[in-house]
Amino acid sequence: MLHTLESLITILVPLVIIMDPLGNLPFFLLFTEGNSPSERRRVAAASSLTACMILIVFGMTGDAILRFFGIGLPAFQLAGGFIFFVYALQMLHVIPGSLKSTSEEKQEGVEKENVALVPLATPLLAGPGAITVVLVWQETPENPVHTALLLSAIVMACLIVYLVFHFGARIVRAMGVGGIRVVTRLMGLLLAVIAVQFMVSGFQQIR
């Protein structure tokens, strides 16, 4: 039971950090600025549910995708670790944050009526980094993860995203923009460590 809980947390933590609900909260509030509270709740639910479905699809079919392209786990861990490290640098504000979405996509989100799918669900929530987390943990042999455990982590991560969006206005009032930035940077530091560990594991398997 303890090992199962440890495995769940090991998957859940990097997934939540990559999905970055606090960092994406300002975009959610911006995209739904003219909406009523009930409409905001619907957008939060739709974006979280859509992101969940996208990640579940990759969680169920990721191994087949890797086998089809002949991609080995070490190569995927190295690539995934690099992607995580870039995300970490963005969260630390070392490099510009444009990997998840472009300025055009963000502007489109401001102008269009339905923002739950694009850019909220993808690429902001279920982007390359989150998909990489799901695929790597599905394929990591030294951390055997049952599909049910992986899917549980995905559902829990998306539930956390929904709760952050749902209570977004209160969170911003309580923490302020500065507080959110501090937490985001701390999460970025943790993600950088996780990224290095992914790359170290990849190099070890090559040897």
**Dist. CA 41–CA 127, nearest whole Å:** 22
| CA distance linking residue 114 with residue 111, whole number of Å | 9
pLDDT of residue 32 exceeding 80: yes
Average pLDDT, the chain: 85
**What is the DSSP-derived secondary structure letter of residue 207?**
-
- Does the pLDDT at position 35 exceed 60? yes
Query: Looking at per-residue confidence, does 204 or 65 come out higher?
Result: 204
Q: Which structure tokens are listed for 77?
A: 């861990």
pLDDT in tens, 117-147: 988 998 899 988 898 889 888 766 555 557 8
Structure confidence by residue, pLDDT tens digits, 136-178: 887 665 555 578 899 999 999 999 999 999 999 999 999 998 8
Q: Looking at residues 17-34, what average pLDDT do you find?
A: 91
Percent of the chain with pLDDT over 90: 42
The secondary structure of residue 166, as a DSSP letter, is H
| Residue range 99-109: mean pLDDT, rounded | 54
Percent of the chain predicted with pLDDT > 70: 88
pLDDT of amino acid 143? 54
DSSP state of 143: S
* Reported pTM: 0.86
Name the nearest CA neighbour of 56 among 156, 144, 198: 156
Domain-embedded: residue 36: yes
| Residue 23 domain flag | no
24 in a structural domain: no
Other residues' Cβ atoms within 10 Å of the Cβ of residue 206: 10
With respect to residue 26, please indicate whether it lies within any of the assigned structural domains.
Answer: no
Q: How far is CA 60 from CA 5, 29, 177, in A?
A: 21, 32, 37
The answer to whether residue 115 sits within a structural domain is: yes
Q: Looking at residue 87, what is its pLDDT?
A: 86
Count of the separate structural domains present in the chain: 1
**Which residue range is the domain that position 76 belongs to?**
2-15+31-206
The reply to whether 20 falls in a domain is no
Query: Does 119 fall in a domain?
Result: yes
Q: Would you report the helix, strand and coil content of the chain in percent, each value rounded to 5?
A: 85, 0, 15
Angstrom CA distances, 118 to 81, 106, 207, stand at 26, 9, 41
Q: CA 86 to CA 90: how far, in whole Å?
A: 6
Is 199 a domain residue? yes
For residue 67, pLDDT beyond 60: yes
